[in-house]
Amino acid sequence: MSTVYTKSPKGSREATGRTHELPEDLLALLKSCKGRFTMDAIAAQAEPEARAKVAADMATLIAEGYLREAPAAWPDGSLPPDDEDAEEAEEVQETGAGEAAASSDNSGEAGVVIADDATPVVDDAAERLRAEVARRRGQRDENTSELVKQIDEAARLKAEEKAAREAAERARREAEEEARRQAEEQARLAAAEQARIAAAEKALRQAAEQAWREEEEARLRAEEERQRKAAEKKAREEAREKARLEEEERDRQAIQERLRKRREKQRKVILPTVLGLLLPPLLGAGILQVYSFDGKRAEFEQVASDILGMPVKAGSARFWFAPAPQWRIDDVRIGADAGTARIARISLGSSALGVFGAPLKFESIGIDQPQLPPAMALKALAGASEHGSLKGGELRVTGLVFAAGQKDLPPLSLKAAFADGRLSAVSAQGEDAEAGRIGFELKRADAWQLTLNASQLRWLLGPEVPLGEITVSGRLASEDLQVTEFAAGLLAGEIKGDGRLSWQDGWRLSAKLKAKSIDAAKLARGWFRDGYIGGELLLVSQAATPKELLPRASLSGSFTMERGALAGVDMDKALQDRGMGDETRFESLGGNLAVESQRIELSALNLVAADLKASGALSFDAARNASGRLTVEARSAGPRRGLNLKISGTLAAPNYQR
């Protein structure tokens, strides 16, 4: 059974503020001890983690005499008073003694005159004091045996109090030892947990880096293997092609040799006869070839103007028999401005009697070295496909360029077919060492359906951003081109999208594009060591000529990168104040992109690496000078701290500063 305690008179004086010996925490505990109580009951009122300390503090109060073991009853058999009753009794005793002293003093001062009057007052105070003292001492003066008993009892209580103090001291020491042990255990567990977390983070980081390196090595091996196989395939194809050409050359030379011998034999026998028969007609044909048919020229001009919907003028019209009967219309000019479009020669195939017929009754059309603005070429295409009076079967065009002196596209060779007097199909090919290769097909159903393929068009985005293979599919009308599918190779990646190109009231272009797997190190070599970019962009442009559309274009959208390396700074070293370094490997990088008036804006940048993250913005002016800021923060606890990086430099090379 737990020992019952109560406050001693010393504890009552301290609790009521008549003495001030205890610190605040022990005083608060002493005041919380009311009436009769056990140590377990007081400790139970505290939080579980504070109970050991409460027990130790109570042991201190017991040892220093502020608390004592509560007896079951006083020696006279009466119950001991509660703390409040004992405190009140002490106050009464002190008050009674004070009153008595005051009465005595007053009587001394008054002398004999007031002595008789003061005697009742002193007697009353003394009586009250005696009554209170008798109550507190339990009437110990009744007999001597009772006093002895009380002295023995006091000795026993003193011995028990000493034993209690010793027990309390032991309990306090044990509680302090337990608290110290628990604190050390908690500190050890906390240190072990922190070490485990640090080791796990390091292992995770090393595993991620190892996985990235293995994946990158696998990708490089696969790319090298693909290139090797492609090179071997190309070498085999070139070898087969070379062997085929050599064999064809040998066959051609053999055939030429046989033909030469045959012609030598025939010339000795037939030439005199042929000259006799053909000389008169040839003389007549020669006269026709130098004779100008002004009437036929005017007829051609009128019909061509009706078909194209614009003025057409020709320099001359002549009929030729060799190499085949045909009308030759030279120095053709199209449009109100004589220099707008020119065609060196139009050849209209005819029969030998075509000299007596209309020039548009032809078997074929040949157009040599036309120079046409793109809009006029499209208008001519629309007129030829809608007019029903063309009787030709095939159209052949050589040396077609879309503007005088323009080198952006290679000269085109074009073939077209007619059906029911209308243009029904067109195909074209062109290749040039500087301008690249382009080919397209047009087929007419309800509308013209376009399929275009091109490559090595270095002029389109500039030599620093060369486009690879380009494919375009869409619907061509007189006023616009609706692109249903666009794809192009770019820096080991690709761009896909759709859009619309129109040419009424100037040239306008709008497109939605998606980029995938573009090599960042090739796109911005000074800013990235490796990594691949993807994103979605909206392109809008308006210009007076088609060549100005891309330089004037505006772009907006977002981009993302997965696993790459930023060049020019090591953010982890910068966070630890160990220099700037030269490379930051990251897990992801994303943001928004805007291009306007040759200015590039990168906003809402968000970089995530193994141990850090960064956010900020970057811009390039028209001269490609860089300006921006990044806020870098550590992702895990440690000696690192956040910092701000200022970015300058150029598009070719960045400069990072604190």
Pairing verdict, β 316-320 and 528-530: unpaired
Q: Residue 332 forms beta bridges with which residues?
A: 343
Backbone φ, ψ for residue 68 (5° rounding): -145, 160
pLDDT confidence of residue 447: 77
Helix (H, G, I), strand (E, B) or coil at 198: helix
Q: And the tokens for 390?
A: 């063309």
pLDDT confidence of residue 143: 43
Q: Which of 137-146, 436-445, 512-521, 600-609 has the lowest mean pLDDT?
A: 137-146
List of long-range contacts for 35-40, beta carbons under 8 Å, 24+ apart? 35/6, 35/82, 35/83, 35/84, 36/4, 36/5, 36/6, 36/70, 36/82, 37/4, 37/5, 37/6, 38/2, 38/3, 38/4, 38/5, 39/2, 39/3, 39/5, 40/2
What type of residue sits at position 379? Answer: K
Pairing verdict, β 532-543 and 507-519: antiparallel
pLDDT at 420 over 80: no
pLDDT at 201 over 70: yes
The rounded Cα 356 to chain-centroid distance in angstroms is 75
Q: Which of 115-119, 261-265, 536-540, 613-617 has the lowest mean pLDDT?
A: 115-119
Q: Where are the alpha helices (DSSP H) in 361-476?
A: 374-386, 458-461
Average pLDDT over residues 230-239: 92
In this structure, the number of other CB atoms found within 10 A of the CB of residue 64 comes to: 17
Q: And the tokens for 190?
A: 């906390």
CA proximity to 336, closest of 299, 376, 369: 376
More confident residue, 481 or 329: 481
Q: Which of 119-133, 467-481, 524-538 has the highest mean pLDDT?
A: 524-538
Per-residue pLDDT reduced to its tens digit, 29-68: 999 998 898 888 888 888 888 888 888 888 889 889 999 9
Q: If you average pLDDT over every residue of the chain, what do you get?
A: 76
The rounded Cα 635 to chain-centroid distance in angstroms is 17
Q: And the tokens for 253?
A: 């030379």
DSSP, residue by residue, 500-568: EEE-TTSEEEEEEEEEEEEEHHHHSTTTEEE-EEEEEEEEEEEESSGGGTTTT-EEEEEEEEEEEEEES
pLDDT confidence of residue 129: 55
pLDDT at 601 over 50: yes
Where are any strands of DSSP class E within 55-207? 67-69
pLDDT at 251 over 60: yes
pLDDT confidence of residue 624: 84
pLDDT at 306 over 50: yes
Asked if residue 455 lies in contact with residue 469, where contact means CB atoms within 8 angstroms, the answer is yes
Per-residue pLDDT reduced to its tens digit, 629-656: 989 888 776 655 678 889 998 988 898 8
Q: Where are the alpha helices (DSSP H) in 64-111?
A: 83-110
Asked if residue 397 lies in contact with residue 367, where contact means CB atoms within 8 angstroms, the answer is yes
pLDDT confidence of residue 489: 83
Average pLDDT over residues 248-266: 82
What is the percent of the chain with per-residue pLDDT over 70, rounded to a whole number?
72
Torsion of CA 501, 505, 506, 512, to 10 degrees: -30
Backbone φ, ψ for residue 584 (5° rounding): -125, 115
Q: Which of 19-23, 462-466, 583-587 has the lowest mean pLDDT?
A: 462-466
Average pLDDT over residues 272-290: 45
pLDDT confidence of residue 276: 45
- In b/e form, how buried is each residue of 134-169, taking b as 16+ CB within 10 angstroms? eebebebeeeeeeeeebeeeeeeeeeebeebbeebe
What type of residue sits at position 263? Answer: R
What type of residue sits at position 630? Answer: L
Domain boundaries, the chain: 4-159, 296-444, 568-657
Asked if residue 615 lies in contact with residue 628, where contact means CB atoms within 8 angstroms, the answer is no
Band of residue 605 on the pLDDT scale cut at 50, 70, 90: very high
DSSP, residue by residue, 44-59: HTS-GGGHHHHHHHHH
The Cα 125–Cα 95 span in angstroms is 9
What type of residue sits at position 353? Answer: L
The rounded Cα 94 to chain-centroid distance in angstroms is 84
pLDDT confidence of residue 119: 44
Backbone φ, ψ for residue 242 (5° rounding): -65, -45
Per-residue pLDDT reduced to its tens digit, 336-369: 764 567 788 877 766 544 444 554 556 677 788 8
Asked if residue 441 lies in contact with residue 463, where contact means CB atoms within 8 angstroms, the answer is no
What type of residue sits at position 512? Answer: K
The Cα 1–Cα 126 span in angstroms is 44
Burial-class residue 74 by CB neighbours within 10 Å (0-12, 13-18, 19+): middle
The Cα 403–Cα 340 span in angstroms is 9
Average pLDDT over residues 70-87: 52
Helix (H, G, I), strand (E, B) or coil at 147: helix
pLDDT confidence of residue 92: 43
The Cα 368–Cα 135 span in angstroms is 142
Tracing tokens 């951003």 back to the chain, one arrives at 465
Helix (H, G, I), strand (E, B) or coil at 594: strand
pLDDT at 184 over 90: yes
pLDDT confidence of residue 235: 92
Band of residue 443 on the pLDDT scale cut at 50, 70, 90: confident
pLDDT at 11 over 80: yes
The Cα 535–Cα 558 span in angstroms is 6
pLDDT confidence of residue 550: 76
The Cα 255–Cα 247 span in angstroms is 12
pLDDT confidence of residue 39: 85
Asked if residue 441 lies in contact with residue 451, where contact means CB atoms within 8 angstroms, the answer is yes
pLDDT at 84 over 50: no
Q: And the tokens for 161?
A: 């109090």
Pairing verdict, β 583-596 and 599-608: antiparallel
Whether cis (ω within 30° of 0) applies to the bond prior to 411 is no
The Cα 263–Cα 279 span in angstroms is 20
Average pLDDT over residues 454-466: 67
In this structure, the number of other CB atoms found within 10 A of the CB of residue 58 comes to: 26
Band of residue 122 on the pLDDT scale cut at 50, 70, 90: very low
Q: How many CA atoms lie within 13 A of 394 on its CB side?
A: 6
pLDDT confidence of residue 464: 62
Q: CA separation (Å) from 133 to 76, 173, 477? A: 14, 40, 125
Band of residue 316 on the pLDDT scale cut at 50, 70, 90: confident
